[in-house]
A and B are shown apart, each in its own frame.
Chain A
Amino acid sequence: MSDVNGHSPLTLVPKAEGKQTLKDFKTDQEVRWCPGCGDYAILAAVQSFLPELGLRRENITFVSGIGCSSRFPYYMNTYGFHSIHGRAPAIATGLATSRPDLSVWVVTGDGDALSIGGNHLIHALRRNVNLKILLFNNRIYGLTKGQYSPTSEAGKITKSTPMGSLDAPFNPVSLALGAEGTFVARTIDSDRKHLQSVLRAAAQHRGTALVEIYQNCNIFNDGAFDPLKDPDVRDDVTVRLEHGQPIVFGAEGQKALRRTATGAFEVVDTATVDASQIAVHDARDPDPSQAFALSRLDSPTFEHTPIGIFRDVDRPSYDELMREQVEAAVDRDGPGDLGALLGSGDTWRID
């Protein structure tokens, strides 16, 4: 949960002395994403958000895998590691569990995180390693030039699927909740305010935070999220989740969610139901069922797509527990003595 009980992961990260600005986080490297790519907006949002945390720049590290999004670390004036396809959560796990004084961010994409790196993602989530994972989901392979991805809608016509893709897609939020991620959120590249509010909560979260960011690939999958961006319809289809608030949406708040007997959610007219029947969002519920049910509202046609923080619960992070075991071992037996270790067990002396 965000910064409650003094469990913020940032308490061990040294603070910057002076005030920081967006400029502090820009590098001299030329940004090489396609003009119009959604990644630019996310980069700008992250760069302008980080000064808010007030952390020393050298104690922030971005780790990425392979793909368009994974170029991200080169554009951040922090430490960075552009690694190999799918493995960023594993590499970042080694870094985060050995360095509690770092704020470690993973930047990944739908192919990187959910295809080749699916295993590492779910295991990072179940362990609750202190990582902030930004999953740029554009529902297409960009860097390899336009094959379908594990989040592409079924039947998608791409270079590798001229007759349509056969795979049922992953819903990243459902997947992360299934792995019992302690912080699972979704936001959109085009809504900087919302994106930064989610980043803010993620940064303070104790353990793994997974943030799915809908990101437009204007070359290979342009307009994938248009219903959520079109000013004429976006308010009618975007369900903005706020912890503790009734789940109401629509330009005039005319729609709401009600929990059915099966535990699923249904959309109802706000005017026709009693206020008591309107679901109240509880991101802190230890049982992930409600968050999961919310994640199932997605549809390929974006009739109603929840964004915001689905789940944010408090559980000790893996790195804390690992550190505690090391400390407990030292407390119990004292710091290691190499000579004593080598001579442990049955020994004999020859004179």
Chain B
Amino acid sequence: MTKQVQQLDRVIIRFAGDSGDGMQLTGDRFTQETAAFGNDLSTFPNFPAEIRAPAGTLPGVSSFQLHFADHDILTPGDAPNVLVAMNPAALKANVGDLPRGADLIVNTDEFTKRNLAKVGYAASPVDDDSLAEFRVHALPLTSMTVGALTGYDISKKDAERAKNMFALGLLSWLYHRPTEGTLAFLERKFARKPEIMKANIAAFQAGWSYGETTEAFSVQFEIKPAEHEAGLYRNITGNVALSYGLVAAGAQSGLPVYLGSYPITPASDILHELSKHKRFGVRTFQAEDEIAAVGAALGASFGGSLGVTTTSGPGLALKAETIGLAVATELPLVVIDVQRAGPSTGLPTKTEQADLLQAMHGRNGEAPVPVIAPRSPSDCFDAALDAARIAVKYRTPVILLSDGYLANGSEPWKLPAVEDLPVIEPAFAPAHQEDFQPFARDAETLARPWAVPGTPGLEHRIGGLEKADGSGNISYDAANHEKMVRLRQAKVDGIAGDIAPLDVDDPSGAAKVLVLGWGGTFGAISAAVRRVRKSGQPIAQAHLRHLNPFPANLEQVLRSYDKVVVPEINLGQLALLLRGRFLIDVISYNRVRGLPFKAEELAGVIQDVIDSE
């Protein structure tokens, strides 16, 4: 039958199901198809900490949200236009986010009495009028999949498991997605299990054909490719971008990358990714604990590698003493904290920005550490390179604050040309120096020499005891200690002259209110700012990449506006730093729900501040 084709400028789809239903994979495949088609996109995987929570329960619900459009977009979207709910739990956990009129595709095979009871539905909501405000497509996805797979030599269980591919096929048809990538993916993934591969491909194609032939869907949608700058693109998650940034830092510095890491959610994927790139000379060491992980990284840095450690908040706490040692010994070290909701174990798979003060101050003594934060998944690449540059140039540990949202979220990334990447100069101390001074300083950077073992004539000892300025001998001298504390601080403060000034986006020049964010909230804040501007209100926006030191022009920027709003996914940590540093009483907006901000919510906050002017 001929279907009507409707043009849309953007769509937000959420796939939701049980942890074992393959929703992350389904979302990821749909994303790849969408990226290949040329839409702009942004994704938000949201899953429980439990690997397989009891089937069919609310804690076991895993979801993947994808926002794609024919124009550039900044967030995974506030509310889905389409929800695919593979079971009652997935429906119950997500239906509250659906706006009136949204499309709702439910797998009725799973809406059994038992599954309904598990999540407290007395009767199936599909059968009564409780979903009346949505366009409900009640489909027996499991049995249609099993039906399509009769004749394949696979178990019933394996046939049922292919239902996610059926759903993917259907959605791919509904939104005109190219399918070659998914077919090639399934061939690769199940290369060793040909029957399973054939069955999954058949399920995918059956879903597509079902869309084409059924009367349940009378409309097919088209979202034209977005306008992008010319270039080669790929879709990338924050953790992969960060890993590539570290590999690039090794290549651009000529230093072998040495990663010491202990598995922790949501940072482990960086360890997994880097372990694949040994041919770049990357060494990955899965240590016995977080402390050993950073210790090995620092030991490798002492030996002339680019020492890196990756972790999340609880691990950063354990690494604190060693980071202090890196401050005292003034060795390069890149510390990556993919933040998650705390305190303690907190919500391991949910995002938060609440490690800023830990990164700034979580060490004994005066132990300043540069802190930088990427703003989007692909920006993790540049941030990692920047962290390595600062660490090597200034002989200092650098903390990079990513977060769970950036780590797992993805967006299209225009590949940089390798020849345009910054070159990092290790500048090792040359051999055979008379009266070598391991704590002499470069006049401009205040960095000390990086004299690695194996360099003749520079034998010296470093350590955590206070060192005499210049000679590096142990010194208990009071005046020397004061001098060294101030020198280490001045070295880090001086980096402000080596980073870009804060860029303010204030197109009308008439704004009285500035929104200032940092890290992973960039997309949501920018989307909110667009909304406010669309309504005719001027508003200025700036986003901090460098949290320590702050860009040199930050105070002047803050003082240029009547009011400064600082949205953060914590209880006001950047706001505290700004107030303490500049005595400027910024307006703090804080939410800690384990989720990114919504653009609509922030637009409302900004509007309220403008209205109160």
Contact = CB atoms under 8 A, between A and B. Distances in A.
B464 A82 contact: yes
A341 interface: yes
B457 interface: yes
Nearest to A95: B299
Contacts of B281: 326, 336
Given A74-B474, A350-B228, A92 B299 contact: yes
B457 A58 contact: yes
Given A93-B292, A97-B283, A57 B322 contact: no
A116 B415 CA distance: 46
B462 A81 contact: yes
Given A57-B459, A332-B279, A348-B234, 17 more contacts: A29-B474, A80-B460, A80-B463, A82-B463, A82-B465, A83-B295, A84-B321, A90-B288, A90-B291, A102-B303, A120-B288, A329-B279, A336-B279, A341-B244, A341-B247, A342-B244, A348-B232
Contacts, number: 204
B394 to A, nearest CB: 20
A33 interface: no
7 closest Cβ pairs, A-B complex = A94-B299, A82-B463, A90-B295, A336-B280, A94-B296, A80-B461, A329-B278
A301 interface: no
Contact of A98 (B258, B461, B473): B258
A283 interface: no
Given A343-B234, A349-B231, A326 B260 contact: no
A346 B542 CA distance: 33
A156 interface: no
A334 interface: yes
A333 interface: yes
A160 interface: no
Interface in B278-335: 278-283, 285, 287-289, 291-293, 295-305, 307, 321-322, 325, 329
Contacts of A63: 299
Given A90-B296, A93-B296, A123-B292, A73 B234 contact: no
B416 interface: yes
B32 interface: yes
Contacts of A80: 460-463
Nearest to A79: B453
A94 B260 contact: yes
A94 B279 contact: no
B456 interface: yes
A73 B465 CA distance: 13
B323 to A, nearest CB: 11
A41 interface: no
Interface string B219-254: 000000000111111110000000010011001000
B247 A336 contact: yes
Interface in A111-170: 119-120, 123
A349 B233 contact: yes
B479 interface: no
B28 to A, nearest CB: 11
B459 A79 contact: yes
A41 to B, nearest CB: 21
Contacts of B277: 336, 341
A216 interface: no
A94 B285 CA distance: 8
A61 B453 contact: yes
A59 B279 CA distance: 26
A78 B36 CA distance: 57
Interface residues of A, number: 62
Q: Is the interface of B mostly helix, strand, loop or mixed?
A: mixed
18 contacts: A56-B454, A58-B453, A79-B461, A81-B299, A90-B299, A91-B296, A94-B305, A94-B307, A95-B453, A98-B258, A99-B304, A123-B287, A334-B279, A338-B251, A343-B415, A347-B233, A349-B232, A350-B229
Contacts of B244: 341-342
A338 B418 contact: yes
B418 A342 contact: yes
B295 A91 contact: yes
Contacts of A345: 234
Contacts of B359: none
B304 to A, nearest CB: 7
A347 B418 contact: no
Interface of B: 32, 35-36, 38, 181, 228-235, 244, 247-248, 251, 256, 258, 260, 277-283, 285, 287-289, 291-293, 295-305, 307, 321-322, 325, 329, 415-418, 453-465, 473-474
Contact of A58 (B229, B234, B301, B459): B459
Given A84-B322, A336-B251, A336-B281, A73 B461 contact: yes
Contacts of B303: 94-95, 98-99, 102
B454 A94 contact: no
A217 to B, nearest CB: 21
A101 B295 CA distance: 20
A351 B463 contact: no
A277 interface: no
Contacts of A123: 287-288, 292
A322 interface: yes
Nearest to A66: B464
Contacts of B283: 97-98, 322, 326
Q: Which of A57, A89, A94, A322 has the most CB of B within 10 A?
A: A94
Contact of A97 (B282, B285, B288): B285
B240 to A, nearest CB: 9
Given A325-B278, A326-B283, A336-B277, A91 B454 contact: no
A84 B325 contact: yes
Q: Which of A81, A97, A98, A328 has the most CB of B within 10 A?
A: A98
A79 B455 CA distance: 9
Interface string A6-43: 00000000100000000000010100000000000000
A98 B304 CA distance: 9
B283 to A, nearest CB: 6
A231 interface: no
A345 to B, nearest CB: 6
A351 B228 CA distance: 9
A82 B464 CA distance: 7
A78 B459 contact: yes
B461 A338 contact: no
Interface string A294-338: 000000000000000000000000000010011011101111101
A182 B301 CA distance: 27
A99 B295 contact: no
Given A58-B458, A82-B465, A346-B36, A335 B279 contact: yes
Nearest to A345: B234
A87 interface: yes
A10 to B, nearest CB: 14
B454 A101 contact: yes
A270 interface: no
Contacts of A76: 461
Contacts of B181: 346
B234 A97 contact: no
